[in-house]
Every structure is written in C-alpha cells, then in structure tokens.
Amino acid sequence: GENGVNQIRKKFLEFFESKGHLVMKSFSLVPHNDNSLLLINSGMAPLKPYFTGQEIPPRKRVCTCQKCIRTGDIENVGKTARHGTFFEMLGNFSFGDYFKHEAIAWTWEFLTEVAGLDPNRLYPSVYLDDDEAFEIWNKEIGIPADRIYKFGKEDNFWEHGEGPCGPCSEVYYDRGEKYGCGKPTCTVGCDCDRYMEIWNNVFSQFNSDGKGNYTELIQKNIDTGMGLERLAVALQDVESIFEVDTIKALLDKVAELAHTSYKEDEKKDVSLRLITDHIRSCTFMISDGIMPSNEGRGYVLRRLLRRAARHGRMLGIKDTFLANLANKVIELSKDGYPELEEKKEMILKVLTEEENKFNKTIDQGLSILSDIEENLSKSGQRIISGEDAFRLYDTYGFPLDLTKEIIEEKGFSVDEDGFNKAMEAQRNQARAARKATNYMGADVTIYQSLDPKLTSVFEGYDSLTDTGKI
Ligand code: ATP
Ligand code: MG
Ligand code: MG
Ligand code: MG
C-alpha cells in the first residue's frame, strides 16, 4: 500500500526534493575519516564535514535515507516497540542555507499533509531556552502553547560525541492510551511506548570538541532525523516496528523457521523480535564490508550474530538459519539499498561460515554453562569466575555479553574483572608470541589485514553506545 516502508521512504525523499534538496544515497555504515565513531548512527554522521565547513557539499540542501546502527540500544531491542539496533533514518539537511522557520514548517507539512498523520496526535518539544523555536511552533504553525513541551539538555540538546551539535525540537506521536504505561505522570516524554518520538530537528549551530567546549559554527545548519520504521508504525497503526510491512514479513520468516507463530508466547516473541532486528544489522554490516572478528566493528557483528544464533536455539531451531533470513532481508530492502543484491553472495557466505563456526561449539558451551551454574548453586554461590567466562569466550566463542545475558536470566553474574584479567593475560601471551615469530594471528580477518586503521580495539559494550565514543 501507499504506507509501506518502501513507499514512505520514497515520499519523504520526493518531498524534500521538491523543496530544493539533492537526494543522496545512504552512506556506508563504516564511517569515513572519523575515528570518533564506530558505526554510522544517524543521518548527519557521514555529513559532518559539510556541517563544519571542512568540505563543500554538492548542494546546500541535501536529503537522505541513512542506514544506522546503534549498539547502545541493544538492551531495548525486542523489549520496547520502537528500538532496533538497525534502523533507517530519514533526514533533510541545510548547510548554512535555511534554518528554523523552514525546517519546522516542512516537518509539519510533511507529517500532516504528505504522510497524513492526525495533527491532534502530534506534539512538538523544544529546548527550554529556545524561545525562537517555541514561537515558530506556536505562532507560525498554530500549535497551542500547552501542547508544546519544553525539555532540558538531556532530551533537547543534540550532541553525539564531537562535531556539530545544538538545541533541537522533536515531534512526538500519541499512539493512544492502549500503548501507555497507565501511570498518572504518563505524558509526552514518558519512557513508555505511548508518546513515540518520531522526528528530531537539530538546529546545529555549535561545534563540540567532545570535551565540553563549544564554538559557534560560522554557518547555521539544519540536521533532522526521523526513524522510517517509527513513522511506518504510526501510519500503519501497528504495535511495534517489528510489525510494519517489510519487517513483519521478515519476522514471519523467523517464526516459520522456528515452527511457531508470533503472539503465541511472550518469551518466544522477544526472541523472534531480537533475531529479526539482529539479522538486519548483520546483513547490512556485511554488505558494507564488515567481517566478524574479535575487535571493533567486527566484534559488534560477531556479537549480534551469535546472539541471534543463540536465540534461534532457544526457539528450537537446530540448523543454520541466518543466511536464509538474510535472503529475506535482501529481498525486502534491496529497493532502497541495491548494494544488498550486489553483495548477496558474499553476505550469505560470511553468515554461513560464522554461524557454522559458532554452531560447532554453541551446544557444548551451553552445556558447560549449565554445569557451572549447577555447581555454583550447590555451593550456594552466584558469581561465575572470570576464568570460566574467559574459557567460554576463548574456546566456545561466547562473547562476554552473551554469557552474561544467559546467566543473568537465572540470577547469576560474572566476575568481569577476572574475565578482563584473563583476557589481558592471553593478549600479552599472544603479543609475545607474535614478536617471536611474526605470526599473523589466526583471527586476523581479511578486513583487518586490508587496513588495520579501520578496526578499533574493543573496550566493552558500554563504550559502544550511540554517543559514538569508543
Ligand atoms: P529515543 O529517545 O526514542 O531513544 P533518540 O532521541 O535517541 O530516540 P535521535 O538521536 O533523536 O533518537 O534520532 C532521531 C530519530 O531516529 C528518532 O526520533 C527516532 O525516530 C529514530 N530512532 C532513534 N533511535 C532509534 C532506534 N534505536 N530504532 C529505531 N529508530 C530510532
Ligand atoms: Mg535513544
Ligand atoms: Mg529521545
Ligand atoms: Mg531524539
């Protein structure tokens, strides 16, 4: 239908094209010349040099639909209705051209006239001190003052690591009472799924050095971002991003492979959503040349892939299944991302190899883990030793986060300091061995050997958040 994900993407780009914007294709998920970021997490990220004036943009007005990955949202995936590690961000950008008036007017025009959302369900927010934006919403657009929310820095000052930043104005969509948490305090800005943030307009006028120092940019810019999947949720009036047309078709495929169906069992549903999200991330990452490894981006890929594989096990899937799902991702998204079709063979090969590798050890690892749990329980302990966690990582390919996730469900925890010590000891050993023989470690991927600068040392998932700092 006209509200399908692929149709909405097209409508958005055509609308901004009609407002003088150059439609550019999505940039790679791998940042170019930007060490502050592990993976592209917003439409503006690959455009930073145009904002700062370092490079001349092809036009002062640009719009994109950018593939994004936010590992910082990983804990939310499958649990909230609106977060994926992978999503598409629609955005219009002005490099020293138009500013707040036009940006806000077009946001409103697109949402209410082109997309056709009910204006009575939309609520804008502005940064506390941004009287200008408040006045525009109130006087020029005609939104009553009591429907415009004022928030502080936390929500309405957009800043991800170093680079352009500034106050922002967001638009929330009221999905109705049935999605609310029911608390008397539930209103715009509540964490639950009722008032869903759909669009962020950033008035980027400062440059941050990432250390708390701001300088006024010579040019005033506009940077906006709207989650394509979230807009589709509003337009298709479905429960979550996992039920919009394209993603639901993928989720159904997962359910089919697991011989189950969605909405049968809440626990299974979490796994179905999680696999659906993670396979999207993995497919897109590989199409951009990222290979599974133990470091940096490659480790993000490995972790997502193994987490999906483990949830497949939980659903009773015995055979390798990820390549099969990737096929579906490609089929559903090649409209917007032709590179998926071009790289298909490679994507399927990498997924199959990595899944096969993990499949050889996953069952053994899981059974060792339950032995460990049993022994600890007998002696009344709740903490798994660092050495045990490291052995699971090193010999059975269990990323630490995966071990944690599995055992936390049962009330155990891991001695992380002990794990890090064991890891460090092994690294030192490997380093010494490398020095002695100039041996290229077995886990050096093709990708790393092509350009060592492109990978970064893994420092734990906490540091891989969407603040972009590693
Ligand atoms: P939230 O508060 O819901 O986590 P955010 O404030 O972190 O969102 P922004 O950085 O403002 O998000 O990004 C712009 C838009 O991108 C959001 O308004 C939303 O529509 C979309 N978006 C952000 N994170 C995700 C995600 N993890 N999955 C899907 N869409 C997202
Ligand atoms: Mg967020
Ligand atoms: Mg937000
Ligand atoms: Mg936001």
Query: What does the pLDDT look like over 66-100, one tens digit per residue?
Result: 999 999 999 999 889 999 999 999 999 999 999 99
Q: At what angle do helices 266-287 and 344-378 cross, to 10 degrees?
A: 140
Instruction: Return the DSSP state at 32.
Output: S
CA of 82 to the centre of ligand 2 (A): 10
CA of 423 to the centre of ligand 4 (A): 36
Residue 280 has pLDDT above 80, yes or no: yes
Query: Could you give the CA distance from residue 212 to residue 207 in angstroms, rounded to a whole number?
Result: 10
367-406 burial by CB neighbour count: b if 16+ within 10 A, else e?
ebbeebbeebeeeeeeebbbebbbbbbeebbbbbbbbbbb
| pLDDT, averaged across the chain | 91
Query: For residue 76, which ligand has an atom nearest its CA?
Result: 1
Closest CA to 137 of 101, 166, 109, 112: 101
Of ligand 1's listed atoms, the one at least distance from the Cα of 230 is 20
Which pLDDT score is estimated for 456? 39
- Higher-confidence residue of 47 and 79: namely 47
Place 431 in a pLDDT band, splitting at 50, 70 and 90. Answer: confident
Q: Which whole-number Å values give the CA distances from 212 to 206, 233, 311, 463, 469, in the listed order?
A: 11, 36, 41, 18, 14
- Contacts made by residues 10-15, CB under 8 angstroms, sequence distance 24+: 11/114, 11/115, 12/63, 12/65, 12/90, 12/110, 12/114, 12/226, 12/228, 13/63, 13/64, 13/65, 13/90, 15/106, 15/109, 15/110, 15/114
Main-chain phi, psi angles of 174, to 5 degrees: -80, 110
CA of 76 to the centre of ligand 2 (A): 10
Residue type, 375: N
- Higher-confidence residue of 236 and 36: namely 236
Question: Is residue 150 within 8 Å of residue 134, measured between CB atoms?
Answer: yes
Q: Which whole-number Å values give the CA distances from 130 to 48, 148, 202, 382, in the listed order?
A: 23, 12, 12, 50
Place 218 in a pLDDT band, splitting at 50, 70 and 90. Answer: confident
Query: For residue 195, which ligand has an atom nearest its CA?
Result: 1
CB atoms within 10 A of CB 110: 22
Closest CA to 135 of 100, 92, 187: 100
Widest pairwise Cα distance in the chain: 72
Which residues surround ligand 1 with Cβ inside 6 Å?
70, 73, 82-84, 87, 89, 197-200, 225-227, 229-230
Nearest CA to ligand 1 atom 15: 226
Phi-psi domain of 203 (left: phi exceeds 0; alpha: psi -120 through 50; beta: other): beta
Place 174 in a pLDDT band, splitting at 50, 70 and 90. Answer: very high
Residue type, 37: L
CA of 197 to the centre of ligand 2 (A): 10
Nearest CA to ligand 1 atom 1: 197
- Higher-confidence residue of 397 and 464: namely 397
Query: For residue 83, which ligand has an atom nearest its CA?
Result: 1
Place 447 in a pLDDT band, splitting at 50, 70 and 90. Answer: very low
Residue 432 has pLDDT above 50, yes or no: yes
Nearest CA to ligand 1 atom 5: 197
CA of 64 to the centre of ligand 3 (A): 20
Which pLDDT score is estimated for 409? 86
Residue 392 corresponds to which tokens in the numbers above? 């699971």
Mean pLDDT value across residues 409-420: 94
Nearest CA to ligand 1 atom 19: 227
Strand 383-384, strand 413-414: pairing? parallel
E-assigned strands of 291-442? 383-384, 413-414
Of ligand 1's listed atoms, the one at least distance from the Cα of 84 is 28
Which pLDDT score is estimated for 437? 60
CA of 402 to the centre of ligand 3 (A): 27
Residue 223 has pLDDT above 90, yes or no: yes
Query: Could you give the CA distance from residue 126 to residue 411 in angstroms, rounded to a whole number?
Result: 42
CA of 171 to the centre of ligand 3 (A): 10
Cα angle, residue 224 at apex, residues 219 and 230 outer, rounded to 5°: 175
86, HSE (Cβ side, Cα atoms, 13 Å): 24
Question: Is residue 93 within 8 Å of residue 62, measured between CB atoms?
Answer: yes
Tell me the DSSP string of 92-124: EEEESS--HHHHHHHHHHIIIIIS---GGGEEE
Residue 450 has pLDDT above 80, yes or no: no
CA of 195 to the centre of ligand 3 (A): 11
Helix (H) or strand (E) segment spanning residue 62: strand 61-69
Nearest CA to ligand 1 atom 31: 227
Query: For residue 82, which ligand has an atom nearest its CA?
Result: 1
Q: Which residues surround ligand 3, an ion (CB under 5 A)?
A: 197
Query: Could you give the CA distance from residue 1 to residue 120 in angstroms, rounded to a whole number?
Result: 24
Phi-psi domain of 406 (left: phi exceeds 0; alpha: psi -120 through 50; beta: other): alpha
Nearest CA to ligand 1 atom 8: 197
Per-residue pLDDT reduced to its tens digit, 296-332 = 999 999 999 999 999 999 999 989 999 999 999 999 9
Residue type, 198: I
Residue 236 has pLDDT above 50, yes or no: yes
Question: Is residue 389 within 8 Å of residue 419, measured between CB atoms?
Answer: yes
Which pLDDT score is estimated for 435? 74
Residue 452 has pLDDT above 50, yes or no: no
CA of 31 to the centre of ligand 4 (A): 21
Of ligand 1's listed atoms, the one at least distance from the Cα of 196 is 3
Nearest CA to ligand 1 atom 26: 83
Which pLDDT score is estimated for 78? 84
Nearest CA to ligand 1 atom 25: 83
Mean pLDDT value across residues 183-192: 94
Per-residue pLDDT reduced to its tens digit, 339-388 = 999 999 999 999 999 999 999 899 899 999 999 999 999 999 999 999 99
Q: Which whole-number Å values give the CA distances from 29 to 45, 189, 250, 345, 464, in the listed order?
A: 10, 29, 21, 19, 14
Nearest CA to ligand 1 atom 11: 200
